[in-house]
Amino acid sequence: MRPLPLWLPSLLLCGLGAAASSPDSFSQLAAPLNPRLHLYNDEQILTWEPPPSSNDPRPVVYQVEYSFVDGSWHRLLKPNCTDITETKCDLTGGGRLKLFPHPFTVFLRVRAKRGNLTSEWVGLEPFQHYENVTVGPPKNISVTPGKGSLVIHFSPPFDVFHGATFQYLVHYWEKSGTQQEQVEGPFKSSSIVLGNLKPYRVYCLQTEAQLILKNKRIRPHGLLSNVSCHETTADASARLQQVILIPLGIFALLLGLTGACFILFIKYQSRVKYWFQAPPNIPEQIEEYLKDPDQFILEVLDKDGSPKEDSWDSVSIISSPEKERDDVLQTP
């Protein structure tokens, strides 16, 4: 936002200077572009883009100045952001946040320099770290599954001073459920017990830190941690149920089955005896057939023949009286 209005007047000045043929106007170097301040946790990093290139072979360096409290500008020498070639100034020089702490309102500006030529200063919006910072998620999150609960431990996103504190929210939902996400908190402690969960269910969660300023004002939401999912264990009574009821159930089932079998056995005892005790009987004739099929067939034929003979016998017996009668008739 700010660089453009500064950049345009400098162009205009160049144009006017050129029109007036002032030697100073050509000494004006184009200013750095798009300065940006990255405020994340305890990081304060100022970045910008190099000015449009020219045919001048000399390298471009940059200078950063700051102002707070007294309203006068000071060169940034520690960390060294004076006559540097990179388009970045790490104001905290490694995360100590000593240089521009809350609650001071800080002004920053940057310019380009080539030889004895310098650009216009490009200013940034003023900032107060705790007012402007993006709060990251809690760090070092560890989740321990408990009995129908999850115990969450973590560290604050960064160290805060000057009466500022953090509070924490936990967003959670059942992984396989259709239930909507729930939010627990705010918690002041960095050790949270998420209770009243169902045992043996997988829950997914994200944690979030909110910065509370000295004046008790709460900064808008911090960034959510990555989603992590965890299965709860059973509480004591559910475990007791598991330990006692399941074997008990299996025992009762077996008992029932045994009883049913016994009753059936009593009821159909004879049939059961027949099935289990009498060896399966092959009819005698078939058994003989199986022993020697050829002989068996002859035997059967013989047996079939004998009744015929018998019948003949009987016929002869019937005929014999006729003979006798003949005899009787012939006798006279």
Ligand X SMILES: *[C@@H]1O[C@H](CO)[C@@H](O)[C@H](O)[C@H]1NC(C)=O
Contact positions toward ligand X, by CB under 6 A?
27, 37, 77, 80, 82-84, 115-116, 124-125, 127, 131-132, 139-140, 155, 226
Cβ atoms of 95 and 88 within 8 Å: the answer is: no
What is the CB neighbour count within 10 angstroms for residue 29?
20
In the complex, the smallest distance separating the C-beta of residue 202 from ligand X, rounded to whole angstroms, is: 19
Q: CB within 8 A of 45, min separation 6: which ones? A: 37, 38, 88, 89, 90, 91, 92
User: Counting Cβ atoms within 10 Å, is residue 138 exposed (0-12), middle (13-18) or buried (19+)?
Assistant: buried
In the complex, the smallest distance separating the C-beta of residue 5 from ligand X, rounded to whole angstroms, is: 14
In the complex, the smallest distance separating the C-beta of residue 84 from ligand X, rounded to whole angstroms, is: 5
Q: Which is nearer to ligand X, 63 or 149 (CB)?
A: 63
In the complex, the smallest distance separating the C-beta of residue 87 from ligand X, rounded to whole angstroms, is: 13
Q: Which is nearer to ligand X, 11 or 37 (CB)?
A: 37
Six token digits for residue 67: 């102002």
Q: Which is nearer to ligand X, 131 or 299 (CB)?
A: 131
Q: Which is nearer to ligand X, 131 or 235 (CB)?
A: 131
Q: Which is nearer to ligand X, 6 or 84 (CB)?
A: 84
* Interatomic CA distance for residues 195 and 243, integer angstroms: 23
Q: Which is nearer to ligand X, 109 or 197 (CB)?
A: 109
In the complex, the smallest distance separating the C-beta of residue 173 from ligand X, rounded to whole angstroms, is: 18
Q: CB within 8 A of 174, min separation 6: which ones? A: 198, 201, 202, 203, 204
In the complex, the smallest distance separating the C-beta of residue 229 from ligand X, rounded to whole angstroms, is: 14
Q: Which is nearer to ligand X, 140 or 189 (CB)?
A: 140
In the complex, the smallest distance separating the C-beta of residue 154 from ligand X, rounded to whole angstroms, is: 8
- Torsion over CA of 293, 296, 301 and 307, rounded to 10 degrees? -150
- Three-state DSSP at 105 gives coil
* Interatomic CA distance for residues 126 and 133, integer angstroms: 13
For residue 126, give the nearest of 278, 254, 273, 2 by alpha carbon. Answer: 2
Six token digits for residue 156: 């604050």
